[in-house]
Amino acid sequence: MSRPLVVIAHGTASAAGRQVVHDLAGAAGAVLGVRVRVGFVDVCGPEADEVLAGSLEPVVVPLFIGGGYHVQVDVPRAAALATGATLAPHLGADPAVVDTALGRLREAGFDAPDTGWAVVVSAAGSRRASVRAEIEAIATALSRRLEVPASAAYLSAAEPRVPDAVSALVAQGHRVAVANLLLAPGAFADRLAAQATAAGAEIVAVPLGVHEDLVEAIVRRYREAVATS
């Protein structure tokens, strides 16, 4: 019998945000031909503990860009409630994340930029240096791909904050586009759009959302976890 896929993500009060997680997990499960469950840490249910308790040999994929507290503590604790769980890596600076962020930025109108452009790569934020390093790695990759300056900024818990980063670049004479590393719609995404626009950004990409590259990243993590467990 195939092992079930359990996708764990940060909770949100946004129904549209929760649907993104369910749709990504469902699409990955369809590719793999396995049963799928979704759990959340914080804000909403079903909670990760509830989903994983008593589960038999699940493959757990944390649907997080940054490997912060939830990835390091909450998800492993929940996985320990299952029997024979295998915990896959979170998304991190996976090329799929870079490709998806790049695609959303181009969909928002950022194409063939001149040298006056700069990109702010926005993320939720974390006090952990390791998480900030992951976001900075994504910014570096986007800078190489776009051939314009790109730097990381955050909505909370870390500096620089998004509006400050945008304002500083505008003051330097740049046209600014904001790449979005949030996974789904919700309060943070609304805050990002409002703050970045008010600070002078000309383009603000939508969250990563449901994208074939992210689906493939989940599928790849499942297969690698099964192969090595």
pLDDT tens readout for residues 123-167: 998 999 999 999 999 999 999 999 999 999 999 989 999 999 999
Q: What is the percent of the chain where pLDDT is above 70?
A: 99
Q: Which residue has the higher pLDDT, 43 or 77?
A: 77
Enumerate residues 6+ apart whose C-beta is below 8 A from 202.
Answer: 175, 176, 177
As a whole number of angstroms, the distance between CA 7 and CA 228 comes to 19
56-4-7 Cα angle (round to 5): 110
For residue 187, give the amino acid letter. A
pLDDT band at 45 (very low <50, low <70, confident <90, very high): confident
Specify the DSSP element, H or E, that contains 139.
helix 129-146
Q: Could you tell me if 12 and 186 are in contact, meaning their C-beta atoms sit under 8 angstroms apart? A: yes
Q: Which residue has the higher pLDDT, 1 or 86?
A: 86
Mean pLDDT of 37-43: 94
| Fold observed for domain 95-204 | Rossmann fold (3.40.50)
Q: Is the pLDDT of residue 43 over 90?
A: no
pLDDT score for 229 = 85
Pair 182, 218: CB distance under 8 Å: no
Q: Using the predicted structure, report yes or no on whether residue 73 has a pLDDT greater than 90.
A: yes
Mean pLDDT of 166-191: 96
| Percent of residues, the chain, with pLDDT higher than 90 | 93
Looking at residue 1, its pLDDT comes to: 60
5-92+210-228 folds as Rossmann fold (3.40.50)
When the pLDDT of each residue in the chain is averaged and rounded to a whole number, the result is 95
What was the pLDDT predicted at 112? 65
| CATH 3.40.50.1400 domain span(s) along the chain | 5-92+210-228
Asked if the model's pLDDT at residue 115 lies above 80, the reply is no
Beta bridge partners of 10: 41
- The model's confidence at residue 111, banded by pLDDT at 50, 70 and 90, is confident
Long-range contacts of 19-24 (CB under 8 A, 24+ apart): 20/183, 20/184, 20/185, 20/207, 20/209, 20/210, 21/63, 21/183, 21/184, 23/210, 24/63, 24/210, 24/214, 24/215, 24/218
Cα separation, 91 vs 88, in Å, equals 9
The yes-or-no verdict on residue 221 having pLDDT over 80 is: yes
What does the block give as tokens for 145?
């791909």
Residue 86 has pLDDT above 90, yes or no: yes
92 DSSP assignment: T
Is it the case that residue 113 has pLDDT exceeding 70?
no
